Amino acid sequence: MLQQYQRIMVAVDGSSESELAFKKAVNVAQRNDSELVLAHVIDTRAFQTVSSFDGMLAEQATEMAKQTLKDYEDYARKHQVTAVKTVIEYGSPKPIIAKQLPEDHDIDLIMIGATGLNAVERIFIGSVSEYVIRHAGCDVLVVRTDLENKIPEKDHTKA
């Protein structure tokens, strides 16, 4: 019998890499008749100042995440994925995507976009996708290509 994934989680953050992962996850969920869990982690460390947590910025990030997830959910449903769940979490993305969400939602496949970091940034920061590959307890698929399995061209107009 063929391996079928029951619950596929795709981590989305608004980047073009996560968009590629999302679109491929929709296709995989459709083929497997799987539940698709759309996850966005708001990195609260980005909103901390020396003295306090900036609630207004976190609130704005939450509203943007809700709208983005709603748009993704609509897209998935239009592409015949009937079971779609959206999740917003707060904290450090690496352990939340690799461990917490897969355990909480019984995920058997994580799909994630390849990092946009260069080699120096990876040394100091480490990519989320690299961390997830090393620490997840389920299968992980790192998406690098578009729906035609081609590497998207970089937009050289951006600095």
Render pLDDT for 109-138 as a digit per residue (tens, 0 to 9). 999 988 655 555 555 545 788 888 899 999
Per-residue pLDDT of 11-54, as tens digits, reads 998 888 888 999 999 999 999 999 999 999 988 776 666 445 56
Q: For the chain, what is the mean pLDDT?
A: 83
pLDDT band at 55 (very low <50, low <70, confident <90, very high): low
Report percent pLDDT > 90 for the chain: 51
pLDDT at residue number 50? 46
CA atoms within 13 A on the CB side of 2: 6
Task: Decide which of 117 and 65 is more confident.
Answer: 65
pLDDT at residue number 158? 46
Spatial CB neighbours of 148, under 8 Å, sequence gap ≥ 6:
none
